[in-house]
Amino acid sequence: MAYQSGLGNEFETEALPGTLPLGQNSPQKVAHGLVSELMSGTTFGAPRGLNRRSYLFRIRPSVQHGRFEQAGSTSFLTPPFTLPAAPLDYCWGPYKTSQASVDFLDGLVTIFGTGSPLSQTGVAFHAYSATASMRDKVFGNADGEMLIVPHVGGLHLVTEYGILDVYVGEIAVIPRGIRFRVELLDGYAGGFVCENFGMPLRLPELGLIGSNGLANATDFKIPVAAYEDHDGSVQWTHKFGGNLWNCQMDHSPLDVVAWRGSLYPYKYDLHRFVAMGTATVDHPDPSIFCLLTSPSDPILGPNFDVMAITPRWVVGDHTFLAPGFHRNCVTEFLVLLQGKFGDLELGSTTLTNGFTPHGPDARTQGALRETSPSPVKLDDQLMLLFETRFPVQVTHFARSTMPVVEDYASQWDAIPKRFGT
């Protein structure tokens, strides 16, 4: 699969030579009988470095889409939810659908969330479990950009901008409003979706780290133009205002022959992450693992941060090598993709609301306080840690149907009192 490289770059790509107009975006007549269409991901007056927009040169304009009708109830939900935000430590095992045939969209279930797309703040966290590819249907989300995290099975994402093949150990980001179809590469796919209602995700500033490290822009992959010229019934499901809306089209809307600009979907291989760590004492703050950020308040915390916990060396002089006990002003949620993290199964996720105490389990705490802090190479651990400054609410589905690890909080009960010993 061919890709372009470099998150934040301006790109231009054409599936048919001679499509892109020279020196303008809206010529009187576009080559090959196409139409020009602008897609804006930020306000027109956003600073140049943060402005996100692209011109699409497509077979039919997007206004030809039929009439919207609100879809029925679904397990793909939008906050706020009815259950109160609780100061609890949650843990769920991997979710797998019991349905014989279900695609990515119908297989989405919401676990927790905060904020609202109406106020354009917060985030929702979903699991997906799919046994079939999407057929004659596409999906677009006007409420939030979607960060897709496979934990089993690869995905073939056919978007308006081109194709992304995404495997376990990679992530994909689909900006708000971009339509796409999900096909399965391995017969079954399971994973997670973080739906970001706030500022678009971008690379964090590196500060004193300098110009290189963490996620390097060149390692992000952007699709090249690819189009479908397909006449036939296609259902477009559009998420808007917390609801799903369907319309029946007489053609595929994935018909962009060429595009140019700074708004596009992309993917990233987590194994490319350049991990940082201590060289002397004390475990550093998790901000050194920041892969992408949706900024909010610089003091209270982010709308949504993505941390990549990848294979790395762990080292420190007379230091407790694991993250210690802490109470954070932000909510944390973690997914295990590879390797070990306590007794969790691959595909498990944990959730800790702000100022709820958490830290190493009794066994880890006991072992690491006694062993010599020699350098340790974590060869296969791969996790994503997410943070938001907002308290989150879990859904009834998460409480009643998701595979809950009931005794998760008991991992700290066996920590002995050592005072005076």
Binding-site residue ranges for Fe cation: 326, 332, 358
Binding residues: 326, 332, 341, 358
Are the CB atoms for 185 and 154 separated by under 8 Å? yes
Number of CB atoms found within 10 A of residue 33's CB: 7
Q: Computed over its alpha carbons, how large is the radius of gyration of the chain?
A: 22
Binding residues for homogentisate: 341, 358
Angle at 324 between CA 320 and CA 329, to 5 degrees: 155
Which amino acid is it at 107? G
Which amino acid is it at 266? Y
Q: Tell me the C-alpha distance between 21 and 145, whole Å.
A: 29
283 a catalytic residue:
yes
| b/e per residue 87-103 (b: at least 16 CB within 10 A) | eebbbbebbebeeeebb
Helix, strand, or coil (residue 108): strand
Helix (H) or strand (E) holding 397: helix 396-400
Task: Report which of 266, 191, 167, 179 is spatially closest to residue 223, judged by C-alpha positions.
Answer: 266
Helix, strand, or coil (residue 137): strand
Say which of 32, 283, 318, 396 is annotated catalytic: 283
Are the CB atoms for 258 and 16 separated by under 8 Å? yes
Residues present in the chain in total = 421
132: left (phi over 0), alpha (psi -120 to 50) or beta: beta
Pair of tokens at residue 175: 């900006």
Instruction: Give the residue numbers annotated as catalytic, written as ranges.
Output: 283
